[in-house]
Amino acid sequence: MTVSRAAAISPPVYTETLPRRPESASRGRRLTVAALSAWGLSELEDAGNLIVSELVANAVEHTACPSIRVTVSRPAPGRVRIAVTDTSSQVPTPGTPSDEDEHGRGLLVVASLAADAGTDLLRRGKRVWAELVTEENQREPWAQPTGGCAGRPR
């Protein structure tokens, strides 16, 4: 008789540590496209690229840490989570920009594109994330948002 144990398997993940510089948004977009392409989810590329760009820009603008980590994971079929982790414990809050303001819309853009989004406070910093779902999964009752630790981005 053979006895086997099931091993814990984490969801597929693409991740990269990047310098906290505006140019890192470009590398974050390349990572996002690579992950989505590998998983056959190219339909999410446009929204994914906007989300990773905004999350990286937010980390670059509002933190002082030397590096950030961009992670693209697939917690379920047809669902992708894009996250940016930094060492700041300051939770982001959406802006209330006027029509003339050039800044302050990033988290509003993320919230408008994402099926769910939030901020997870970590022992050393935070992870700001947003989830995208395929059109097919938006109609499935079990593909509803997973709910974040801290809710919508702040």
Digit-coded pLDDT (tens) for 80-103: 999 999 999 998 877 776 667 666
* Residue 52 forms part of a structural domain: yes
* Residue 1 forms part of a structural domain: no
* Residue 23 forms part of a structural domain: yes
Kindly report the average pLDDT of the chain as a whole number. 84
* Residue 6 forms part of a structural domain: no
Q: How many CA atoms lie within 13 A of 128 on its CB side?
A: 30
Task: Specify the DSSP element, H or E, that contains 48.
Answer: helix 45-62
Q: What is the mean pLDDT of residues 73-85?
A: 95
Domain that holds residue 37: 13-96+103-143
Q: How many CA atoms lie within 13 A of 34 on its CB side?
A: 14
pLDDT of residue 115 exceeding 60: yes
* Residue 33 forms part of a structural domain: yes
* Residue 153 forms part of a structural domain: no
* Residue 34 forms part of a structural domain: yes
Beta strand pairing status for 67-76 and 116-122?
unpaired
* Residue 92 forms part of a structural domain: yes
What pLDDT sits at residue 41? Answer: 96
CATH number, domain with residue 40: 3.30.565.10
Q: What is the pTM of this model?
A: 0.81
The domain tally of the chain equals 1
